[in-house]
Amino acid sequence: MKKITHLLLGAALGLSFNACADSQVTVYYPGTSETAQVSHAQNLAQLLASPALTNRSWWPGTVIAEKMATVVAQQHYQQTLARLRAWAATEEGDQASAINQVITQLSAIKVTGRQFTSLDPDWIRLRPEANRRLEGEYSVYTLQQPDSVTLVGAIGNPGKTPWQPGRDIRDYLEGHDRLTGAERSIAVVIAPNGEVKEAPIAYWNHRHVEAEPGSIIYVGFSSWALPGEYQDLNQHIISVLTHRIPD
């Protein structure tokens, strides 16, 4: 599998170092329609000190998104789904079924213009360079500390499974059949903070890799299954998953 990068980092321009900044932030809470507004926070430290956020989220998975980056992320999401549908239309039988199952999984998520920066108040307090200035409109998505990981991709019975400390990625995938065209040597682990790493899972290349609670484990399509014009589909799907709104 090719080296994985955040394909939309070029759109993540909303965290500014300008001397004069103003912001409007909408804070979302899980499992409720409740929101809160935080106005005029000049930087991340001021935002995170707001009563709307203090002690109200699990920081490793908390997401901050910028308005214009969200437009780009949603366009990329729709383009990725369209390419999957176009590929499925050229296949038949089990391969078409596998692609459509991945489309169904991705269609159930929501994406946003995530800014890849730590929102841990302690981290920001100890590292002034991490205290980014804010300018413009943002959304912050909070969450409770998760106790599961989510299996996604060309596998049977995808979805949440209980997280266990020390458990290997290959163990999480045990009992989940690979769909036609699935990658069988490498899985991709997307941490709650959006970081991406590969986990070798075949008998010949296996290496012990663990997942944090709240991670996504993605089983992609193998390079031999992907037609030439779709060789980059795994990278695009991974980029979509890094921009997923936590649930």
Over the stretch 123-134, which tens digit does the pLDDT of each residue have?
999 999 999 999
Task: Give the tens place of pLDDT for each residue, 32-44.
Answer: 999 999 999 999 9
Report the SS3 class of residue 65.
strand
pTM: 0.92
Question: What distance lies between CA 201 and its chain's CA centroid?
Answer: 21
233-242 vs 67-90: helix crossing angle, rounded to 10: 140
In-domain check, residue 43:
yes
pLDDT in tens, the chain (247 residues): 444 445 554 444 455 444 456 899 999 999 899 999 999 999 999 999 999 999 999 999 999 999 999 999 999 999 999 999 999 999 999 999 999 999 999 999 999 999 999 999 999 999 999 999 999 999 999 999 999 999 999 999 999 999 999 999 999 999 999 999 999 999 999 999 999 999 999 999 999 999 999 999 999 999 999 999 999 999 999 999 999 999 8
What domain range includes position 81?
23-243
Work out how many domains the chain is built from and give that number: 1
In-domain check, residue 172:
yes
In-domain check, residue 2:
no
CATH code of the domain covering residue 184: 3.10.20.700
Of 53, 56, 23, 44, the residue nearest 127 (C-alpha)? 44
223: DSSP letter: T
In-domain check, residue 130:
yes
